[in-house]
C-alpha cells in the first residue's frame, strides 16, 4: 500500500495527465413535475430532464483533482473558500488519512470546492429542486413519496452514526440507477441556501407562510416531509465555506438541446 502510494505520488510529478481522475458515469433523470417541501405557493415545479452522477465523488477522485489543481490542496486553498475543516483528516496535501477508504465519498469540502470540481469535469452541481426530485426515487419507483417503508428507512438512515466513511455504492441504487442518494452523506446543491431557515424552526412558520403550511400539513402519512425537514434544516445551518464531515457531493449536467 505504502509503495503503491509512493509510486502514485512520484508518478504524479511526471505524468500528471495520465493520472486524470476516473470519470463518473452519468444517468439521465427523466423530466417531470413535483411539489418541493418549501416550494412557492405549494406549486408544482417542472424539472427538465438532466444528467446526474451515478455515485458520489470519491476520496480518490478528489485526490486526483487536487493533484491536478494544486490551488485546491489543503495548504494552498484560499481561506475565503474553505474553513479550517477543509480535508481535515487528510494526512497532507496529496495523501488521504490513514483510515480513509479511497472509494468512500469525499467530505470536508466546501461548496466552492465542490462547484469548482464539477466545473473542471464539464459538469455542475445539481440544483436543490433537481436533487430533491431525483431523491424521491426508491429502487422501484420514480416517486416513492407515498411509500412509508422507504421513508422510514430514509429517516432512520439520517440517524445512523458514522456512515460517511463507508464506500460508495453501499446503500441502494434507485429507479434511475443512481447510488446512495440517502444513507451515506448529505450533498451540496448549487442553491442550498435559497430557502432560509432561521434555526428557530417554529418561528419560520410566522415569517414564511410556505414553511408554516408545510409544517402544518405534516401528519402521520407525510413521513417524506420529516426526512425533507431534516435536509432543509441541515442546508439552513451551513455556509458555503463550511467543510463538514458528513457532507459530500456529486455532479450533474444539463442536456443540451
Please give the residue ranges that form the binding site for another protein (CB under 8 A). Answer: 85, 88, 148, 152, 155-156, 158-163, 186, 197-204, 215, 218-220, 223, 226, 229-230, 232-234, 236-239, 242-247
Least separation, in Å, of the C-beta of 25 and another protein? 28
**96 vs 223, which CB is nearer to another protein?**
223
Secondary element (H or E) of residue 8: helix 2-14
Least separation, in Å, of the C-beta of 154 and another protein? 11
Q: Rounded to the nearest 5 degrees, what angle is found at the Cα of 57, between the Cα atoms of 49 and 255?
A: 20
Least separation, in Å, of the C-beta of 235 and another protein? 9
**26 vs 135, which CB is nearer to another protein?**
135
Are 124 and 251 contacting, i.e. CB atoms less than 8 angstroms apart?
yes
Least separation, in Å, of the C-beta of 22 and another protein? 28
The answer to whether the Cα torsion of 89, 92, 94, 99 is positive or negative is: negative
**19 vs 226, which CB is nearer to another protein?**
226
Residue 95 pairs in a beta bridge with 92
Angstrom distance (rounded) from CA 95 to CA 107: 14
**144 vs 252, which CB is nearer to another protein?**
144
Least separation, in Å, of the C-beta of 62 and another protein? 18
Angstrom distance (rounded) from CA 61 to CA 104: 10
Least separation, in Å, of the C-beta of 234 and another protein? 5
Angstrom distance (rounded) from CA 155 to CA 108: 23
**47 vs 168, which CB is nearer to another protein?**
168
Least separation, in Å, of the C-beta of 18 and another protein? 35
Angstrom distance (rounded) from CA 100 to CA 90: 8
DSSP code per residue over 77-138: S-GGGS-TTTTTT-SBTTB--TT--TTSBP-S--HHHHHHHHHHTT-EEPPHHHHHHHHT--
**190 vs 245, which CB is nearer to another protein?**
245
**47 vs 247, which CB is nearer to another protein?**
247
Amino acid at each position: 500500500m505504502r509503495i503503491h502510494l509512493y509510486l502514485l505520488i512520484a508518478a504524479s510529478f511526471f505524468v500528471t495527465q495520465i493520472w486524470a481522475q476516473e470519470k463518473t458515469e452519468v444517468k439521465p433523470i427523466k423530466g417531470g413535475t413535483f411539489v418541493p417541501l418549501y416550494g412557492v405557493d405549494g406549486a408544482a415545479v417542472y424539472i427538465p430532464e438532466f444528467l446526474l452522477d451515478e455515485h458520489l465523488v470519491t476520496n480518490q477522485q478528489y485526490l486526483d483533482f487536487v493533484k491536478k489543481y494544486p490551488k485546491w490542496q489543503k495548504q494552498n486553498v484560499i481561506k475565503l473558500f474553505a474553513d479550517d475543516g477543509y480535508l481535515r483528516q487528510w494526512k497532507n496535501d496529496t495523501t488521504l488519512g490513514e483510515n480513509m477508504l479511497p472509494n468512500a465519498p469525499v467530505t470536508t469540502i466546501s461548496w466552492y470546492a465542490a462547484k469548482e470540481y464539477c466545473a473542471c469535469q464539464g459538469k455542475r452541481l445539481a440544483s436543490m429542486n433537481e436533487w430533491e426530485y431525483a431523491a424521491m426515487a426508491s429502487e422501484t419507483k420514480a416517486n416513492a413519496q407515498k411509500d412509508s417503508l422507504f421513508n422510514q428507512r430514509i429517516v432512520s438512515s439520517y440517524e445512523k452514526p458514522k456512515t460517511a466513511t463507508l464506500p460508495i455504492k453501499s446503500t441502494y441504487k434507485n429507479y434511475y440507477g443512481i447510488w446512495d442518494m440517502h444513507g451515506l452523506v448529505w450533498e451540496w446543491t448549487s442553491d442550498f441556501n435559497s430557502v432560509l431557515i432561521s434555526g428557530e424552526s417554529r418561528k419560520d412558520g410566522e415569517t414564511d407562510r410556505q414553511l408554516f403550511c408545510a409544517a402544518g400539513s405534516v401528519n402521520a402519512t407525510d413521513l417524506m416531509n420529516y426526512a425533507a425537514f431534516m435536509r432543509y434544516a441541515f442546508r439552513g445551518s451551513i455556509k458555503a465555506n463550511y467543510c463538514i464531515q458528513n457532507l459530500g457531493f456529486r455532479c450533474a449536467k444539463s442536456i443540451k438541446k
